[in-house]
Amino acid sequence: MVIDGGLPQDAPTPRLVQVTPEMSEILLSRTVVNRRLDWGQVDFLADSIIRGEWQLTHQGIALDGPLDTGCLLDGQHRLNAIIKAGIPVWIYVFEGLPRTAFPVLDTGKRRSGVDTLSSTGEKYLPVLYSTIRHVLLFKNMPDSSWSGNGSRIANGRILAAYNEDSGMYREAVAMGREISRHVFASQTGMAVGYFVTAEAAPAVKADSWIEGLTSGANLEIGDPRLALTKVPHMRVRSAKRRYAMREQVAIYIKSWNAWVQGEKIEKLGFKKTENMPMPVEVKFDR
């Protein structure tokens, strides 16, 4: 293995620069070869900047010459995000990258949210990632669509949410996996429902709730738990009307709220035009 073979003659020079919106506009005006702009990615990055979640990494901006005169080869999404956010960020600028390198830029595999959580040692990572993501969507945009570019969440936020409440997320995944065996719903939908209701009502002992859903023993007509187990097509892909994740969570919360409040309900459903129901809050007395 060669430890120090000397730098190649065409090696780019990295500089750490605080790039402002004004500087971004200048650099973008010097774009000569670049990819088609993905405005969804721009919105995603701008949102990260506005939230204060932007992190300095090795990924930056590439120019074919000096910062003052070089043409932009890579970084148009980051620069447009800086402009949209209106906030300067620190970023590495690589000067003197050969234009022949352009075809191989950003061709590596993007790190997924599941990859981000792999270091936690948790089981069932796809369900865990999906649960955390949808809990964050519930908390931040309950009445908006949970699909498309507007619903993307940075991996850093996923990991931060896990670290803040790892035990509860672990419990929610376990409960979601168990409940979904008895209810026509996805593991994620039931895990998210369990998480947000348990968080809102920590004083409620949910043992009988879970037992009713999983065993169905001695449940009378009108019991919200029975109604939840009878909701059709929450996870059947071939069904004509399959409930999306947001709808599954809403139906779970409707059933839970009725059970906590002692109400009778025989049929559950949710329309896309409805607002997301909020879980009943039952706190401990101080």
Count of positions (residues) in the chain: 286
84 and 122 together in one domain: no
159 and 89 together in one domain: no
Q: What is the pLDDT of residues 271-286, one digit of tens each?
A: 888 999 999 999 877 6
Q: Is the pLDDT of residue 239 over 60?
A: no
Domain finish residue from 100, 133, 166: 100
Is residue 266, in this structure, part of any structural domain at all? no
Q: Is the pLDDT of residue 112 over 80?
A: no
Is residue 73, in this structure, part of any structural domain at all? yes
- What range defines the domain where residue 207 resides? 113-260
pTM value > 0.75: no
139 and 232 together in one domain: yes
- What's the CATH number where 38 sits? 3.90.1530
123 and 254 together in one domain: yes
Q: What is the pLDDT of residues 201-220, one digit of tens each?
A: 999 989 999 999 998 878 89
Structure tokens at 8: 């190649």
Q: What is the pLDDT of residues 174-186, one digit of tens each?
A: 999 999 999 889 9
83 and 168 together in one domain: no
Q: What is the mean pLDDT of residues 123-137?
A: 96
Q: What is the pLDDT of residues 79-88, one digit of tens each?
A: 999 999 999 9
61 and 91 together in one domain: yes
Please, is 8 exposed, middle or buried when counting C-beta atoms within 10 Å of its C-beta (0-12, 13-18, 19+)?
Answer: exposed
Go through 75-107 and write b for each residue having 16 or more CB atoms within 10 A of its CB, e for each that does not: bbbbbbbbbbbeebbebbbbbebeeeebeeeee
Is residue 121, in this structure, part of any structural domain at all? yes
254 and 118 together in one domain: yes
User: Which has the minimum average pLDDT: 89-103, 155-169, 196-210?
Assistant: 89-103
Is residue 185, in this structure, part of any structural domain at all? yes
93 and 161 together in one domain: no
